[in-house]
Chain A
Amino acid sequence: MWRRFVSSREGMVGLCLLLPIILAALLAPLLSPGDPQAMVGPALLKPFADAAFPLGTDRLGRSVLAALLHGASASLIVAAAAATGALGLGTVIGTVAGFAGGRTDEALMRLTEAFQAVPGFILALALVSVLGPSLGSVVLAITLSSWTGPARVVRAEILSLRGRDFVDAYRVLGMRPMQIAFRQVLPNALPPVITLAAVVVAAAILVEAALSFLGLGDPNRITWGRMIAEGRAVLRTAPFLSAIPGIAIIVTVLAVNLVGEGINEALAGKRVAA
């Protein structure tokens, strides 16, 4: 399976882009020691003008590169945590709905539709405003607004698998329903969810950026969204302050999406025969 991923061009490009970003995030304190919010140089220095500040400085003389590196970790932590939450919650609800059927399924479907009908970002806004801006509330907000996708996918897979002959075959053999559900059916339902994981992570990064752009992110951390917001004040004279973090977001989300395509191709080979 790994071999198939490696043969996928999209997947490898994505991985090559993503690994350095993850590394940069992890090693930020080493690569750029000190507080990224410290004022270290002259204000509004253009990028590539001074070797000490390769990406320039902002209105308050803070290094853009330092902020970029430290901001990476905030984005990735939030995205990973939120995606894990959304996938976990979605899988559980989707599995229960798919297997239980009947009234339980109906009720869970109504719940899923409710969460899907509320515009996700507005729900996130409401949550963050209620709980106060912090990394935790942002994670919770994104989780609650993204779990419906995985839930639907898991439920659909399980419903289609339940009708397959091999499930009947297990019943005929006398296997207990619980065993059939969790040991036989669920492993077959997971591959599309894994592919969805990449999409969820990518979306989480974008939502986090939007929240911090609006000033609703964690006030103690520097994030890419916040950098864009702060660059807005000097948009005419120093557009690079908003442009650079945006490019970073694009590259990261692009990388995640490409890795997702790679995973999809790696798993597709296996599922085609099923």
Chain B
Amino acid sequence: MSGLDLLQVQQLAVDFADAGQTVAAVRDVGFSLAPGGRLALLGETGSGKSVSMMAVAGLLPENARVRGSIRWPALARPPQLGRDVGMVFQDPMSSLNPVLSIGEQIAEVGMTHLGHDRPQALQHVRSLLERVGIEATDSRLAAYPHQLSGGQRQRVAIAMAIAAGPKLLIADEPTTALDTIVQAQIMALIDTLVRDAGMALLLVTHDIALARSIAQHGVVLRHGTVVEQASMDAIVSRPAHPYTQSLIAASLDVDRPVPARAAAPGGPVPLLAARGLHKTLGQGSAALQVLRGVGIDLAVGETLALVGGSGAGKTTLARIVMRLTEADAGAVSLDGVDLLALRGEPLRLARQRFQMVFQDPLGALNPRASIGRLLADPLRLHGFDHGAAAVEVLLRRVGLDPALAQRRPHEVSGGQRQRVNIARALATRPALLVLDEPVSSLDVSVRAQILELLRSIQQETGIGYLFISHDLAVVRTIADRVAVMADGQIVETGPTAEVIANPQHAMTKALLLAAPRLGRQFAFEGVPQ
């Protein structure tokens, strides 16, 4: 269909002036978007995709210098934010004003751009809420952001973005902060809304599978420049540039065949056995039963994945196993020894055998300690040699340069930090490692490297992993068996390949449906709303 493009970007370059220095963020970026077209800006952290998007929107901070041309041929006049262009950001909690009701915040758009008075605006709000799947009751309109769930908040953000009927919807990592199942629901919603209104979509994401499922064309960015630009079809099945190829290879795809795994060595006694765990958090009317009679088994050298949506109880189970939280009832044994009965010094000594890698790599490291000291601590506490040489061994084992021992946690990258966390956990040569969403917050290519590292360590040492994740694609590449949790109970368990091929429980099926796939496009039917 010929006609004017909605958006034409040519030779875009953005620099930032920071304390007297100039940092180049984006160089020579160009792309175009037809009315109703869908384009994805793809890249990892620091690729310049967000900066390019903010330049298009005109929302760059004051110290930014923009060169090149950004034109809107199909529009009669310069685009106005809110009216011609609607935006949805990554974190819905911080993107909403905490002191105004959601009704107010959505109504503002109509009152500013459509000339609504209050009653008209509120009526408009009601119809918008229905379109985005939130019941338009009075109490909902008067609710505040913190009273809604993450998914609901993002729906409100979407309602605000489409309120004035824009020609273009810009979505910046709209689902990264959300649970897997909710992610799928939100993407389905965006797909429907954009299609129904004939809006163009500019999606900024690091997730190729996500982009493939909804966008027609993609622009791959790296270090501020365009590396490849083609239809999403071509990018996924025939990537031309080596960087794109590595991204595709590193991407998670639940359908992609995985190399066969050597069977776990096993042993007479399970490494970890939990039975009948109960835990209730909170008191009185606000009490929540987080665990309701949960039991798992982990054999020596095996990887058991614990999957489920947020709130299913996975982290609580992990904390009970790690003796960070006390269970209300139940038993846990490690190597046949009753773990929950240990206290004081015997517990301290036993900790040498089981360690944990936490979810947020930065939060798990003492900001004031050097990496060397952080690694020496476990060695010292359990009577191992804790000199510089020992620390160097640990660093090399996880693929890090020993020179990093002098640095502090905030001075290294996210991937490096997670390696430090792993190194620290492995320092005492434990038999069991509990990993709580260890790769969720990492970039795509780094994710694959960390998973590979974990695999190779398991090959070498026969360590057992209890691997918590909400993402089946990750689980598929690393777990021997998987246990699916929902509502505080284990609802399905079995060898990974089998569970994925023949899911029995509704939750398993929902997780599978919501998992990222490179081969799928516009196939969001069947996702429970």
Query: Interface of A with B (CB < 8 Å)?
Result: 164-166, 168-176, 184, 187-188, 271, 273-274
Pairwise interchain contact A175-B377, C-beta atoms closer than 8 A: yes
Pairwise interchain contact A188-B356, C-beta atoms closer than 8 A: no
Please tell me if B244 contacts chain A, counting CB pairs below 8 Å: no
Separation of A176 and B378 alpha carbons in the complex (Å): 12
Pairwise interchain contact B364-A169, C-beta atoms closer than 8 A: yes
Pairwise interchain contact B356-A169, C-beta atoms closer than 8 A: yes
Chain B interfacial residues counted at CB < 8 A: 28
Pairwise interchain contact A166-B377, C-beta atoms closer than 8 A: no
Min distance, Cβ B342 to any Cβ of chain A, angstroms = 11
Min distance, Cβ B90 to any Cβ of chain A, angstroms = 20
Separation of A174 and B381 alpha carbons in the complex (Å): 7
Nearest residue in B to A180 (C-beta to C-beta)? B366
Separation of A208 and B383 alpha carbons in the complex (Å): 55
Please tell me if B351 contacts chain A, counting CB pairs below 8 Å: yes
Pairwise interchain contact A172-B363, C-beta atoms closer than 8 A: no
- Minimum-distance CB pairs A-B, first 10: A273-B410, A274-B367, A174-B351, A165-B364, A165-B363, A174-B348, A165-B358, A173-B378, A166-B366, A172-B356
Sample 9 A-B pairs with CB under 8 A, ordered by A number: A165-B358, A166-B365, A169-B424, A173-B351, A174-B347, A175-B381, A188-B367, A271-B367, A273-B410
**Could you say which of B347, B360, B362, B366 has the most chain A C-beta atoms within 10 Å of its C-beta?**
B366
Pairwise interchain contact B324-A172, C-beta atoms closer than 8 A: yes
Separation of A166 and B371 alpha carbons in the complex (Å): 13
Separation of A164 and B367 alpha carbons in the complex (Å): 11
Pairwise interchain contact A173-B381, C-beta atoms closer than 8 A: yes
Pairwise interchain contact A168-B358, C-beta atoms closer than 8 A: yes
Pairwise interchain contact A187-B368, C-beta atoms closer than 8 A: yes
Separation of A168 and B319 alpha carbons in the complex (Å): 10
Please tell me if B322 contacts chain A, counting CB pairs below 8 Å: yes
Pairwise interchain contact A173-B324, C-beta atoms closer than 8 A: no
Separation of A170 and B348 alpha carbons in the complex (Å): 11
Pairwise interchain contact B410-A274, C-beta atoms closer than 8 A: yes
Pairwise interchain contact A174-B352, C-beta atoms closer than 8 A: yes
Pairwise interchain contact A165-B367, C-beta atoms closer than 8 A: no
Separation of A169 and B417 alpha carbons in the complex (Å): 14
Separation of A266 and B370 alpha carbons in the complex (Å): 20
Min distance, Cβ B370 to any Cβ of chain A, angstroms = 13
Contact with A along B202-213 (1 / 0, CB 8 A): 000000000000
Take A174-B351, A175-B377, A175-B381 as given contacts and tell me if A169 and B367 are in contact as well, using a CB distance cutoff of 8 Å.
Answer: no
Min distance, Cβ A202 to any Cβ of chain B, angstroms = 28
Pairwise interchain contact B381-A166, C-beta atoms closer than 8 A: no
Min distance, Cβ B79 to any Cβ of chain A, angstroms = 34
Please tell me if B469 contacts chain A, counting CB pairs below 8 Å: no
Take A171-B324, A172-B324 as given contacts and tell me if A188 and B366 are in contact as well, using a CB distance cutoff of 8 Å.
Answer: yes
Separation of A164 and B361 alpha carbons in the complex (Å): 11
B347 neighbours in A (Cβ, 8 Å): 174
Q: Pick the contact of B364 from A166, A176, A184, A188 — CB < 8 Å? A: A166
Please tell me if B355 contacts chain A, counting CB pairs below 8 Å: yes
A171 neighbours in B (Cβ, 8 Å): 324
Contact with A along B497-521 (1 / 0, CB 8 A): 0000000000000000000000000
A273 neighbours in B (Cβ, 8 Å): 362, 367, 409-410
Min distance, Cβ B356 to any Cβ of chain A, angstroms = 5
Separation of A95 and B129 alpha carbons in the complex (Å): 48
Contact residues of B between 129 and 145, Cβ < 8 Å to A:
none
B409 neighbours in A (Cβ, 8 Å): 273
Please tell me if B382 contacts chain A, counting CB pairs below 8 Å: yes
B352 neighbours in A (Cβ, 8 Å): 174
Separation of A143 and B267 alpha carbons in the complex (Å): 65
Nearest residue in A to B365 (C-beta to C-beta)? A166
A166 neighbours in B (Cβ, 8 Å): 363-367
Separation of A271 and B369 alpha carbons in the complex (Å): 13
Pairwise interchain contact B366-A184, C-beta atoms closer than 8 A: yes
Separation of A195 and B251 alpha carbons in the complex (Å): 46
Nearest residue in B to A272 (C-beta to C-beta)? B410
Nearest residue in A to B352 (C-beta to C-beta)? A174
Separation of A60 and B352 alpha carbons in the complex (Å): 79
Take A165-B360, A273-B410 as given contacts and tell me if A172 and B367 are in contact as well, using a CB distance cutoff of 8 Å.
Answer: no
Pairwise interchain contact B358-A169, C-beta atoms closer than 8 A: yes
B410 neighbours in A (Cβ, 8 Å): 273-274
Separation of A176 and B410 alpha carbons in the complex (Å): 26
Nearest residue in A to B358 (C-beta to C-beta)? A165
Separation of A164 and B363 alpha carbons in the complex (Å): 6
Min distance, Cβ A157 to any Cβ of chain B, angstroms = 13
Min distance, Cβ A168 to any Cβ of chain B, angstroms = 6
**Could you say which of B352, B356, B360, B382 has the most chain A C-beta atoms within 10 Å of its C-beta?**
B356
Nearest residue in A to B19 (C-beta to C-beta)? A7
Separation of A274 and B365 alpha carbons in the complex (Å): 9
Separation of A176 and B367 alpha carbons in the complex (Å): 19
B324 neighbours in A (Cβ, 8 Å): 168, 171-172
Separation of A60 and B398 alpha carbons in the complex (Å): 80
Q: Pick the contact of A188 from B359, B368, B382, B424 — CB < 8 Å? A: B368
Nearest residue in A to B427 (C-beta to C-beta)? A173
Separation of A273 and B411 alpha carbons in the complex (Å): 9
Separation of A271 and B367 alpha carbons in the complex (Å): 8
Separation of A173 and B347 alpha carbons in the complex (Å): 11
Separation of A168 and B322 alpha carbons in the complex (Å): 10
A169 neighbours in B (Cβ, 8 Å): 356, 358, 364-365, 424
Nearest residue in A to B436 (C-beta to C-beta)? A165
Contact residues of B between 343 and 357, Cβ < 8 Å to A:
347-349, 351-352, 355-356
Nearest residue in A to B319 (C-beta to C-beta)? A168
Q: Pick the contact of B322 from A172, A184, A271, A274 — CB < 8 Å? A: A172
Pairwise interchain contact B377-A173, C-beta atoms closer than 8 A: yes
B351 neighbours in A (Cβ, 8 Å): 172-174
A173 neighbours in B (Cβ, 8 Å): 351, 355, 377-378, 381, 424, 428
Give 20 new A-B contacts, CB below 8 A, not counting A184-B366, A274-B368. Answer: A165-B360, A165-B364, A166-B363, A166-B364, A168-B364, A169-B358, A169-B364, A170-B377, A172-B324, A172-B351, A172-B355, A172-B356, A173-B351, A174-B347, A174-B349, A174-B381, A187-B368, A273-B409, A273-B410, A274-B410
Contact residues of B between 384 and 433, Cβ < 8 Å to A:
409-410, 424, 428
Contact with A along B172-185 (1 / 0, CB 8 A): 00000000000000
A172 neighbours in B (Cβ, 8 Å): 322, 324, 351, 355-356
